[in-house]
């Protein structure tokens, strides 16, 4: 598999704007673990090997456990995640898979149990952002760097 177009070079203004959004989203009040859960779960759904590799390593450095990362794709089947984290993961999945009916009323109500409107906005923007990065990496066949 060969990397295709380098978006950063081919579309520098668009890249700069997306990177600017990354800077804004990185300042959210979400914890580092919450941010990494969003990034890894969306990247799993989108089959973005580059982003899964990057964000699982970052999550481990931030204190996330291997066990929780191994079971993230099966979060509904385990008690390793809190109800608050499950609300984030459900929202992450439904925003990522928006074409399957959008965000359900149930998922949104669950999020409202734990988060303010501002925090729900931060979660949604975080999901939107990682989905954009996933689409760039997958469509351009961005390669995982060798350690």
Work out the mean pLDDT of the chain and round it to a whole number.
94
pLDDT in tens, 117-134: 999 999 999 999 999 999
Q: Contact 34/89 with Cβ under 8 angstroms?
A: no
pLDDT for the residue 3? 65
- The residue among 94, 88, 74, 79 whose CA lies nearest residue 37 is 88
**Residue closest to 85 by CA, chosen among 55, 48, 115, 129:** 115
At 5-61, the pLDDT tens digits run: 988 889 899 999 999 999 999 999 999 999 999 999 999 999 999 999 999 999 999
Q: What would the pLDDT profile of 54-107 be if each residue is shown by its tens digit?
A: 999 999 999 999 999 999 999 999 999 999 999 999 999 999 999 999 999 999
Domains belonging to the chain, first-starting first, are: 31-139 (1.20.1290.10)
- pLDDT at 145 exceeding the cut of 80: no
Q: Give counts: helices (H), strands (E), the chain.
A: 8, 0
- The structure's pTM equals 0.93
pLDDT number for residue 147: 61
Can you state the angle between helices 117-139 and 83-96, rounded to 10 degrees?
50
The alpha helices in the chain, defined as continuous H runs, are 7-10, 12-26, 32-45, 49-61, 66-70, 83-96, 105-114, 117-139
């Amino acid at each position: 598999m060969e990397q295709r177009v380098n978006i950063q070079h081919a579309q520098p203004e668009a890249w700069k704007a997306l990177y600017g959004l990354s800077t804004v989203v990185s300042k959210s009040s979400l914890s580092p673990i919450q941010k990494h859960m969003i990034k890894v779960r969306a990247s799993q759904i989108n089959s973005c090997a580059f982003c899964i590799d990057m964000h699982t390593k970052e999550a481990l450095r931030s204190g996330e456990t291997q066990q929780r990362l191994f079971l993230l794709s099966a979060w509904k089947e385990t008690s390793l995640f809190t109800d608050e984290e499950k609300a984030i993961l459900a929202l992450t999945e439904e925003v990522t898979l928006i074409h399957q009916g959008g965000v359900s009323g149930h998922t949104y109500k669950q999020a409202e149990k734990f988060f303010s409107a501002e925090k729900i906005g931060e979660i949604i923007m975080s999901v939107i952002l990682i989905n954009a990065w996933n689409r760039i990496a997958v469509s351009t066949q961005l390669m995982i760097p060798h350690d």
